[in-house]
């Protein structure tokens, strides 16, 4: 990747965030694209984003692929993993060797599942605003490869702009507005997962391909993915209109 292409991608992310401050934009679509940007810009294998609800319970809202999405769900279900620790401590941590004895003793179930998923290294960065965290970003690599200090700084910057997009209300000091915005994102993710499952089962394809088809359909019509997903669940959208993968 050339330096200019990297700069252009970083610029695109910040333009999207600027748009989110003034337009009614699709938050889930933005977070999914942010995961893809992380993979490309930081030369990692996968990325996932966890978001906390109003009770502080984490949910997976975006991932670069289904394998990572399932791993993040596993972490939440077993209440262990570097991403959960990152959210709780509000501290970034990079170059975590998932084969290391320390990782095995700290997160035994998660480290084992991550290795089964093909991952060797993890890096985590908090989604934080002032003195509180609203979630975390988890980056994975299939090989033992360090994240440079420069890339770690970029990763945290991407996490910070994601937080701005999440809490894009004019008055960020109003806690109730924060909770409302976060809850909408979590609710949209649930609806999208349900619709993705419906399409995957109906078409007999894997969830990644079903989601890509849904996203392509929504983009072509300048619609929110969550709105299309809700129509699929309500059976007000004929799924035959969506080009099959």
Confidence category of residue 180, pLDDT binned at 50, 70, 90:
low
Residue 171 is predicted with a pLDDT of 43
Q: How far apart are CA 70 and CA 244, in angstroms?
A: 23
Give dist(CA 171, CA 36) in Å, integer.
Answer: 29
Q: Please count the other Cβ atoms lying within 10 Å of the Cβ belonging to residue 4.
A: 8
Tell me the pLDDT of the chain averaged across its residues.
85
Q: Identify the pLDDT of residue 173.
A: 45
**Contact 135/45 with Cβ under 8 angstroms?**
no
DSSP string, 141-187: ESS--PPPHHHHHHHHHHHHHHHHHHT-SS-TT-HHHHHHHHHHHHH
Instruction: Please list the alpha-helical segments (H only) found in the chain.
Output: 3-20, 27-42, 66-78, 82-89, 101-106, 108-116, 149-166, 175-203, 207-220, 225-234
Q: Which residues contact 125 (CB under 8 A, 6 or more apart)?
A: 86, 92, 136, 137, 139, 152, 155, 156, 158, 159
Under the banding of pLDDT at 50, 70 and 90, the label for residue 178 is: low
pLDDT in tens, 8-21: 777 777 776 666 55
The CATH architecture annotation of domain 170-245 reads: Orthogonal Bundle (1.10)
**Dihedrals phi, psi of 145, to nearest 5 degrees:** -145, 130
Give the pLDDT of residue 170. 39
Tens digits of residue pLDDT in 110-131: 999 999 999 999 999 999 877 7
The CATH number of 3-168, from 2.40.50.140, 1.10.150.20, 3.30.450.40, 3.30.420.270, is 3.30.450.40
Q: Is 137 helix (H, G, I), strand (E, B) or coil?
A: strand
- Measured over the CA atoms of residue 178, residue 77, residue 157 and residue 91, the dihedral's sign is positive
Measuring CA to CA, which residue among 30, 40, 44 is closest to residue 10?
A: 40
- What tens digit of pLDDT does each residue of 155-173 get? 998 898 888 877 764 344 4
- pLDDT at residue 28 tops 70: yes
Whether the predicted pLDDT of 93 surpasses 90: yes
pTM of the entire structure?
0.71
Q: State the DSSP code for 191.
A: H
Distance between CA atoms of 192 and 240, rounded to whole angstroms?
Answer: 18
Nearest one of 75, 52, 33, 38 to 129, comparing CA atoms: 52
Give the model's pLDDT for residue 131.
75
Domain boundaries, the chain: 3-168, 170-245
């Amino acid at each position: 990747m050339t330096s200019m292409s990297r700069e252009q991608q970083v610029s695109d992310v910040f333009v999207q965030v600027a748009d989110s401050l003034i337009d009614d934009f699709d938050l889930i679509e933005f977070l999914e694209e942010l995961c893809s940007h992380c993979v490309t810009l930081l030369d990692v294998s996968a990325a996932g984003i966890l978001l906390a609800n109003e009770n502080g319970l984490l949910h997976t809202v975006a991932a670069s692929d289904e394998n990572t999405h399932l791993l993040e769900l596993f972490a939440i279900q077993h209440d262990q993993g570097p991403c959960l620790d990152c959210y709780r401590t509000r501290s970034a941590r990079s170059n975590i060797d998932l084969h290391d004895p320390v990782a095995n003793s700290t997160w035994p179930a998660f480290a084992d599942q991550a290795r089964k998923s093909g991952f060797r290294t993890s890096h985590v960065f908090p989604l934080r605003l002032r003195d509180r965290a609203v979630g975390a970003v988890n980056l994975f690599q299939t090989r033992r490869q360090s994240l440079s200090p420069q890339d770690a700084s970029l990763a945290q910057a991407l996490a910070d702009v994601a937080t701005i997009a999440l809490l894009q209300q004019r008055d960020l000091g109003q806690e109730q507005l924060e909770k409302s915005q976060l809850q909408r994102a979590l609710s949209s993710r649930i609806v999208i997962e349900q619709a993705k499952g419906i399409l995957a089962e109906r078409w007999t394809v894997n969830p990644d391909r079903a989601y890509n088809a849904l996203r392509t359909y929504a983009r072509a019509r300048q619609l929110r993915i969550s709105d299309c997903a809700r129509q699929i669940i309500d059976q007000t959208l004929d799924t035959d209109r969506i080009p099959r993968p």
